[in-house]
A and B are shown apart, each in its own frame.
Chain A
Amino acid sequence: MHGTASAEAAHAVMFGLDPLWLSSIILVITYVVLLSEKFHRTVVALLGAGVMIVSGVLDQDQAIAGIDFNTIALLCGMMIIVSITRKTGVFEFVAIFAAQKVKADPLGILIMMSIVTAVFSALLDNLTTVLLVVPVALLIVDKLKVSPYPFLFSQILASNVGGTATLIGDPPNILIGSATGYSFNAFLFQLGPVSAVVMVVVVGIFYLIWGRSLQTTDALKERVMRFDALGSLQDMRLLKQSLGVLVLVIAGFIIGEHYHIRPGTTAMFGAALLLFIVSIGEDRRGQAEQVREALEEVEWSALFFFIGLFVVVGGVEHAGLLGILAEKLMALTGGDPMITAFTTLWLSAGVSAAIDNIPFVATMIPLVESMEAGLGGPVAIEPIWWSLALGACLGGNGSLIGAAANVMVAGLSERAGTPIGFMRFMAIGMPIMVLSVAIANVYLYFRHFA
C-alpha cells in the first residue's frame, strides 16, 4: 500500500527524489530541530510543513486536508472560553478556598492543590490549568515560606494524571479522540478509572516524600487564612454566564456523540455563544473590545504548531513511511493485540518522557491506523488507542520536557525565581511515571485481555 502512495507522490517531488526518503529526512530534521529547542517550535513546525509542500511531497490541497481542524477548533474554542472565565477570578477562588479548607497546612495544601489541578485538567485542559493554578500556588507557598518545589512538582504530575482522564484533558487525547472519533464518554469510562487510581497512588507518594518536611509556623499560616477568597470573584454576572456556558459545553461533549456533533464544533459553538452573551448590552466598541480581548488570550503559537505538525506528519504518511513502520511493528509483536498494546504503552511512555508527547502522538496516530486491518479491525485496535493515550499522557511525567504543561510550569517557576532543575524533577517524575504506567498496564490487561 505504501508503495502505491509513494509512487503517486513521486511524480511531483523535487529533483525526482524518492518521496519516502525525502519526507523521512524532513520529518527527522524537523524533530531534531524541535528537540534542540534552538528555535521556536511553531516556526520549526511551520517550516517543516512548508518544506513538505515546496519539495512536492504534498501539494497544498493535500497539506490542508491533513490538518485536523477538529483538534484546532477544540483547542481554540476552549482557550476562548477559559480566557473569558479567567476574568471572573473563579480559578483563584477555588485554589484559595481549597488552601483555607485545610487551615493553610502545607501538606494539606499540596494535596488539595494537586486534586484541584487534576480535576481542572480533566475538565479544561492541563496546559490552561497549570497556567491558572501554579501562580496562586506559588503565592501561597511564598506566604508560608516553605520550599516551592514539592508544589511545583505535584502540579506537573497532577496535571498530567488528571489530563489523562478525558478527551479534552491533554493534547495527546485531543489528537487521538479526533483521529478515532471516540467520544468524550468513551475516554472518561476507559481512562477515568485508571487515572483516579493513579492519582490516589501519586498523592500517597507525595505524602511519603514530603509529609514530614513541609512545616511552617502558625503566624505564616495566618497570612494565608487572611486571604479573602470571595474577594477574588470579580464579576458575578460574568461568572454565572461563563460557568453556565462551560457546563453546557461539557454536557455537549457528553451528549454530542448521539447527534454526530464533534468536540471541535461543541467547543467553538460554546465560545461563540459565550462571546455573544458577554456582548449583550455592550455598544459596538465594547463588543469589539470583548472579542479582541478573548482572541488575544488564544495561544495562537500552539495552534499554528499543531497545523505545521499535521502537515509534516501528513507528508510522511502520504509517502508511505508510517505504513512501513506499522508493518515492522506488527512483525515485531506478531500481530498479537495484547503484546502490541503493551508495547505501544511502554514505547509511548518512554518516548513521551524524552520528547514532547504532542509530535510523538501526531506521528503515532496514522501508524496505529495502519495497524488496524492487521490486528483484526476497529474493535481489536481499541486497546492500542487507549495504550497510546495512557502511555503518552502518563509518560509526560517522566521528564521536564515530557509534556507542554511541564514546560509551562518550568517557565513560570523560573520567572518566580525558583527554577526547576531537569535532573531534580526527573528524580521524582521518572519513578512515578514508571509506577503509573505499570498500573496502567495492569489496568489494560484486566480491562481488555483477561
Chain B
Amino acid sequence: MLVCGEIMRAMKTCLYADDPTETAVAFMSEKHMGLVPVVERNETFAGLLSGDRLMHLMLPKHLTMIRGLNRMSYLRESKEELLERLEELSQRPIREVMDERAKVVHLDTPMIEAQKILAGTQFVVPVVDKETRKLLGAISFFTILSLLRDEEGWGERIQHDEGDA
C-alpha cells in the first residue's frame, strides 16, 4: 500500500505564525511561491498561507463578508487604495490570515487520502508527524506526477511491500 511518507517531498519553512504577514508576502514574492506552510515557534504545523487567500483578504471586506455585496462592477479603485489594504493586511500576524484548518496527512496515511484532499480545494497537503505535529514534508499534484513518471521503480517497491505482507 502506498503511504504518504513514501512519496512526500521533505519540506522546511521559515515562516512562523506570529510573524507579521509582510514577512510572508516578501517571502512568497521573492520565491514566487503561491502557497507556503506556516509553523509555530516549536516547529509544529500551524497552517497554510496561500496567494489566493491574500488576494481574498485584499478585497474590500464588504464584498467577502457573509451577506455582503455580490458584485463590485461599479468600483473604480486606484493603486493607492489597493496598497492601503495590503499595508493594513501586512501588519496583521500570519496567524490571523493563514488557513489554520488546512487538512494534513501523516507518514502512514494511505496516499489515496492525500489524493482526495488534492482533488478538493487544497493543492498542497502538508505531511506532519502524528505525535509531535511537526512539519515533515508536503504532497502536491506534482509529487504524484513524479511518482507516476517513475512507474517501474514504484512498481518494484509495491511488489516488494506485497511480498513482505
Chain A interfacial positions (CB closer than 8 Å to B): 86, 89, 92-93, 96, 131, 135-136, 138-139, 142-143, 223, 226-232, 234, 411-412, 415-417
Contacts and interface: CB of A to CB of B under 8 A. Distances in A.
Interface stretch (B67-75, B100-108, B110-118): B67-75
Contacts of A96: 74
Contacts of B77: 223
A223 B82 CA distance: 12
A415 B74 contact: no
Contacts of B71: 89, 92, 232, 234
A415 B65 contact: yes
Q: Which has the most chain A C-beta neighbours within 10 Å: B66, B73, B74?
A: B74
Contacts of A234: 71, 73
Contacts, number: 60
A142 B74 contact: no
Contact of B66 (A136, A227, A229, A415): A415
B60 A139 contact: yes
The 3 A-B pairs with the shortest beta carbon distances in the complex, nearest first, are A232-B74, A415-B65, A231-B74
Given A139-B62, A223-B81, A417-B61, A412 B74 contact: no
B79 interface: no
Given A227-B74, A227-B75, A415 B67 contact: yes
Nearest to B85: A142
21 contacts: A92-B74, A135-B62, A135-B65, A136-B69, A139-B60, A139-B62, A142-B61, A142-B62, A223-B78, A227-B76, A230-B74, A231-B73, A232-B73, A234-B73, A411-B67, A412-B65, A412-B67, A412-B68, A415-B65, A415-B66, A416-B62
A230 B73 CA distance: 9
A417 to B, nearest CB: 6
Interface in B29-80: 60-62, 65-71, 73-78
A91 to B, nearest CB: 10
Nearest to B62: A139
A404 B69 CA distance: 20
Contact of B60 (A92, A142, A229): A142
A138 B81 contact: no
Contact of A135 (B69, B74, B78): B69
A138 B74 contact: no
Contacts of A227: 74-76
Contacts of B61: 142, 415-417
Contacts of B75: 227-228
Contacts of B73: 89, 228, 231-232, 234
A230 B75 CA distance: 11
Contact of B74 (A223, A228, A416, A417): A228
A131 B74 contact: no
Contacts of B78: 223, 226
A230 B74 CA distance: 7
Contact of B69 (A92, A228, A229, A231): A92
